Amino acid sequence: MSIGQKAARELAGRAHEVGRVPERKRWRDVLQQVSRGRFGRPRGWASEPELDTPWQDTVSGERHGWRERAAKLGGEAAFSVDYQVSQDCRLGWVEQPYTLPEYQ
């Protein structure tokens, strides 16, 4: 097992240490609605504040109303997944789970 794989395994074991970035600001929602989704979308972590936790829960940069939970290793997202939770039943739907090939 390489040093990178050991680091990825340790990072995966810390998945319970999650920092949450709040929902997007109201002006972004209005801009997205008026532009039919073309403007106002955050673009991943670059537009979000950095937290001091290994895993971050942010607004999804690809899906309106969804969230992304991801962890960086060596400056890039080693693990990530988009998800949405139903307000009624509190069950979640997950899409696009991703792991860098060298950590799979």
* Domain with 35 in it: 3-103
* Number of compact structural domains in the chain: 1
Enter the pTM of the model: 0.68
Residues sharing a CB contact under 8 Å with residue 36, sequence separation 6 or more, in sequence order: none
pLDDT digits (tens, 9 = 90+) for 29-38: 666 677 766 5
Closest CA to 19 of 63, 67, 66: 67
Q: What is the band of 45 on the pLDDT scale with cuts at 50, 70, 90?
A: very low
Distance (Å, rounded) from C-alpha 84 to C-alpha 66? 5
Mean pLDDT throughout 68-80?
88
- Only one residue has tokens 């989704």, namely 37
Output helix, strand, coil percentages for the chain, rounded to the nearest 5. Answer: 25, 30, 40
